Chain A
Amino acid sequence: MARELCVLTPVLPDRRDALAATLAGLPDGEDSPLARVPGTHFARWVRAPSLRRRTDLGPDTACLVFAVEFDHGSAREYLEDLCRRLPDEADLVWRNCAGYPGAVDHRFVAWLLEHRVEPGFSIVAFPSATVAEVREALALRARIATFAVAAQRLPAARLRQAWREHVSAK
């Protein structure tokens, strides 16, 4: 079952540019450090430069938003996995935030959980599918589509063989 986590951590005033540069330098796509955490459906880092911009609600707060949809059993499990799999990148990003514990370890997980945004209301299109199941289903669909075109005029015996080779065997 897909779960969500959103964390807002305050950015140190003198580290805003460094944070922007770090995030801009992260590789994209399958090279993204977040791709190394299996079970991550979607994830994003977003800088909220100043939450006071249009209000008079109090002191200026620049925040870093980290939001993720994942398959792990809990937010803690996800963050512990993240610590194991991208300690360097996590350090580079969150060291720019106020209260960062100084190392990517259990204190770091606790710190992020302290800054978790309480889940409110969510819509999830495929709540029970894991990333692995989605990828497997998409690959199967592609194989069946290819087979459907290729097998249109095959005799029965060859069709069986082609099905085994192109659809069932993978």
Chain B
Amino acid sequence: METVGRWTAITVITPVPVWWDATLRANFRRLARRRRRGRRSQIMSDLERLSFISFAHWSPVRLPSGRYLVFQSNFNGAAKQYVEAFARIVTWGMRGLWWGAIGVPGPLPVAPFEAYIMDQRLPVDHYYCAYPEASTKMVRAALELRERHASLERRLSDLDDAAFAAAVRTFLAHNQRVI
């Protein structure tokens, strides 16, 4: 059950050699420091262009059988399109995450990379989402609208009927994009 409502879950665990595990950990620490300082990395900006992702995580892990990179994400739509968008839009980011991993083709050309991810993704045994019928875009729009609505409500109580109606109609017209 890898889908719930509009959402799809993907989980891929890729073996990595010791040197790549160390490289990833160092890179993740560097990215975390940049984030704490409020600085944005190119990979973050690129990934945020993929507006169908709610959460995506890459984590290094050490197990008795070896070292691995755990990738997991929640996104809207079909897994194939998701992987293709990743490969095309975040090409350098994907190289930076999987370049040293064992058996992972480069993100371009897309077909071998897509085939690898589709083949290696693990079947989801149980998947839960708190808002299954809303996409990432819908959630972002709703949160934006909620903020603007709160601001409008603070102003409405002081208005007479005509001004109230005008304010509400203006609000609706200005927020068509997120309604």
Contacts and interface: CB of A to CB of B under 8 A. Distances in A.
A90 to B, nearest CB: 12
Interface residues of A, number: 69
A103 interface: no
Residue of B7, B56, B132, B146 contacting most chain A CB atoms (<10 Å): B146
Classify the secondary structure of B's interface with A. mixed
Interface stretch (A19-27, A74-82, A106-114): A19-27
A91 B141 CA distance: 39
Residue of A44, A134, A154 contacting most chain B CB atoms (<10 Å): A44
B91 interface: no
Residue of A23, A122, A156, A160 contacting most chain B CB atoms (<10 Å): A122
Given A134-B131, A137-B139, A118 B9 contact: no
Nearest to A159: B165
Nearest to A162: B168
Interface in B100-146: 102-103, 122-132, 134, 136, 138-143, 145-146
A67 interface: yes
Contacts of A84: none
Given A42-B128, A44-B128, A47-B125, A120 B58 contact: yes
A120 B128 contact: no
7 contacts: A42-B130, A55-B15, A65-B122, A67-B72, A69-B54, A137-B146, A155-B165
B78 interface: no
Interface of B: 1, 4, 7, 9, 11, 13, 15, 24-25, 27-28, 31-32, 43-44, 47-48, 51, 53-61, 63-70, 72, 74, 97, 102-103, 122-132, 134, 136, 138-143, 145-146, 149, 153, 156, 161-162, 164-165, 168, 172, 175, 178-179
Contacts, number: 229
A39 to B, nearest CB: 8
A104 interface: no
Contacts of A20: 125
A15 interface: no
Contact of A118 (B59, B130, B165): B59
B178 A141 contact: yes
Nearest to A58: B65
B143 A133 contact: yes
Given A120-B59, A134-B142, A32 B44 contact: no
Contacts of B59: 6, 117-121
Contacts of B74: 42, 69
B140 A141 contact: no
A97 interface: no
A23 B138 contact: no
B178 A51 contact: no
Given A34-B128, A134-B139, A141-B179, A41 B64 contact: no
Interface string A37-55: 0001111111110011011
